[in-house]
Structures are given as structure tokens and as C-alpha cells.
Amino acid sequence: MKNCYLANIMYKDFSGILDEVLGRITPTPEERRFISKIVSEVITALESLKSDYKIDYKVEIVGSYAKDTWLSGEAD
């Protein structure tokens, strides 16, 4: 019984730590909107340059932003 009690306390402590860490590293909705707007503007600018320079290329979003694994304050 004592082991169950200790395990429960440890789980609650660990769960609280996880919640705190996730709160720090998960991008906020405002941050997501801001980065999304920048990405959209960059894509639009790069796509418009295709015809200006008559170069054929494909614009792709890659990295942690594309995979939605980016950290708050660390968009690449």
C-alpha cells in the first residue's frame, strides 16, 4: 500500500513537471499565427520571383515548422 501511495505522489509530481515543460515549449496560438503569416509572405514572394527571373523551382516548407515539432521561440 505504501508503494502505491509513493507511486501516486511521484506520478503527480512528474505530471506537473511535464505540464510545466509543455507550457514553456509549446508555441502559443499568437506565435503560430505570426510565424504562419511570415511563412505565407515568404512563399508568396518566392513564387512571384519565378516569373521575374524565369527560373523554375519548387518552394517547400521543411524542418520542424513543417512537421509541427518546433519549439516556442525557436521557429526555423
Q: What is the pLDDT of residue 2?
A: 62
Write out pLDDT tens, residues 62-76: 999 999 999 999 987
Surface-to-core class of residue 8, CB atoms within 10 Å of its CB (0-12 exposed, 13-18 middle, 19+ buried): exposed
What CA–CA distance (Å, rounded) separates 76 from 64?
Answer: 7
Beta carbons of 24 and 67 less than 8 angstroms apart: no
Q: What grid cell was written down for 19?
A: 505540464
pLDDT confidence of residue 1: 56
Per residue in 9-54, pLDDT (tens digit) is 677 778 888 999 999 999 999 999 999 999 999 999 999 999 889 8
